[in-house]
Amino acid sequence: MQVAQKVLPLLFALAVLFPLTASAAGKDSADAPDIDVKKIIFEHVKDAYEWHITTVGDKHISIYLPIIVYSSRTGWTSFSSSVFHHHDEYNGFSIAREGDNEGKIVEMAADGSMQRPILDISITKTVLAVFLNAILLVVIVLSVASWYKRRGNKGSLETPKGFVGAFEMMVDFVIEDIAKPNIGKNYARFLPYLLTAFFFIFLSNIMGIIPFFPGGSNVTGNIAVTMALAICTFIAVNLFGNREYWKEILWPDVPVWLKLPIPLMPFIEVFGMFVKPFALMIRLFANILAGHTVVLAFVCIIFVTMSVSLAIGSAMTFVSVVFTVFINFLELLVAFIQAFVFTMLSAVFIGMAQHEPHGHNAHEQ
């Protein structure tokens, strides 16, 4: 209640002041084109070759990132994306403005059409965000680990407080509630992967919610990122799968006519091998992307309604801020839940590949 009492006047202040400043700014560009909400949202959640931090007046403050491409025409080429700030084209490369490759680096092909280079491993906004998140994660985990190492060397088993305590709580959560119940007795060898995946996703989600640099990037809402994570889970599942797991796939316990002469069930099982990580990939990507989109949409409401009328705009600003705060809290929850779900399902799939034969299992219990 106390928090509500403090926050509500602030929201009212925002609701009153924001339209004033917005309208003051808006008067200079009264004939500005209509606000394209879809474009704004897409620009925020999509990958880019520069990291646009903010705009002060007419001046864009951006981090220009290196473009690294391999093309049959030029071989390996690397240049800063700042060249596109003033020129549309550099060395035959340009950023497509429309079409399937919109926003991507393209080059003129021999037939005159614009084609993607063979390889494009540019350090894009999302790649930089991945770097930053990775560095942050490594720093956090290593500093927490050093706390334990210092205590461990002295033989003390002291319980941590504060940040290390919170971190330990989550590590313990991953061990006790994710790894142990889903994988079983072999859980220990998969712990580093599960913990890394959990904290990487969780940190990236949280960083995505923070609305300013170095946060605000849509890392886990990008399908390439979630695909990489899903590939890692796929490797963890299939590389360490035991004989029982492969037998269940290639020669499952079903009537023979389902296996011979057409390997129907094995085909379905092999298909399932790929469906599982695919589901992981889509789930994480869609949840985070949706969260970002909803937050941005609510923020856009302010600008859309403000361009209609000041009165509606002021009212809607209040509503929109309230909803955005609400959605942000929800996203905080989603950030944790999606990290949990991804790790949990990874553990379930790993556990399935570690499953003992039924009789053997019953005997063990």
Partner 1 sequence: MSFLLPDAGLLFWMLVVFGIVFFILARYGFPAIVAMLDERKRLIDESVRSAKEANERLVAINAESEAILKSARDEQARLLREATAMREELIKEARERAGKEGEKMLAETRRVIEMEKEEAVRDIRRQVAELSVEVAQKILRRELSDENKQRSVIEALINETVE
Minimum CB separation from partner 1 for residue 48, in Å?
11
Instruction: Please report how close the Cβ of residue 221 comes to partner 1 at its closest, in angstroms.
Output: 9
Q: Residue 225 or residue 237: which is nearer to partner 1 going by CB?
A: 225
Return the exposure string of 149-179: e unless at least 16 CB atoms fall within 10 Å of the residue's CB, then b.
eeeeeeeeeeeeeeebeebbebbeebeeebb
**Min dist. Cβ of residue 42 to partner 1 (A):** 9
| Shortest separation between residue 66's beta carbon and partner 1, angstroms | 12
Nearest Cα to Cα of residue 82 among 56, 97, 60: 60
36 vs 172 by CB, closer to partner 1? 172
- CB closer to partner 1 out of 126 and 305: 126
**Residue placing its CB nearer to partner 1 in the complex, 249 or 281:** 281
**Beta carbons within 8 Å of 228's beta carbon, 6+ residues apart:** none
89/172 with CB nearer partner 1? 172
CB 84 within 8 A of CB 90: yes
* Closer Cβ to partner 1, 288 or 327, answer by number: 288
Indicate the pairing of strand 89-90 with strand 93-95: antiparallel
- Name the residues that contact partner 1, by CB under 8 A: 45-47, 68, 100, 102-104, 119-124, 126-127, 130-131, 134, 137-138, 141-142, 144-145, 148-149, 151-152, 157, 159, 167-168, 171-172, 175, 188, 191-193, 195-196, 199-200, 222-225, 227-229, 231-232, 289
Nearer to partner 1, 121 or 315 (CB): 121
Beta strands (DSSP E) in the chain are 50-56, 59-64, 66-71, 75-80, 89-90, 93-95, 105-108, 114-115, 119-120
Cα–Cα distances (Å) from 118 to 68, 78, 83, 102, 342, in that order, read 11, 14, 21, 16, 32
Quote the least distance from Cβ 188 to partner 1, whole Å. 8
Cβ 77 to partner 1 shortest distance, Å? 13
SS3 of residue 243 by DSSP: helix
| Measured CA angle at 217 (ends 212, 219), to 5 deg | 155
Structure tokens at 108: 């003129």
- Cite the DSSP H helix spans in 73-124: 83-86
| Measured distance CA(125)–CA(128) in Å, rounded | 5
Write down the least CB distance from residue 334 to partner 1, Å.
Answer: 18
In the bound complex, what is the minimum distance in angstroms from residue 138's beta carbon to partner 1?
6
Burial 283-298 (b: 16+ CB within 10 A, else e): bbbebbbebbbbbbbb
61 versus 139: smaller Cβ distance to partner 1: 139
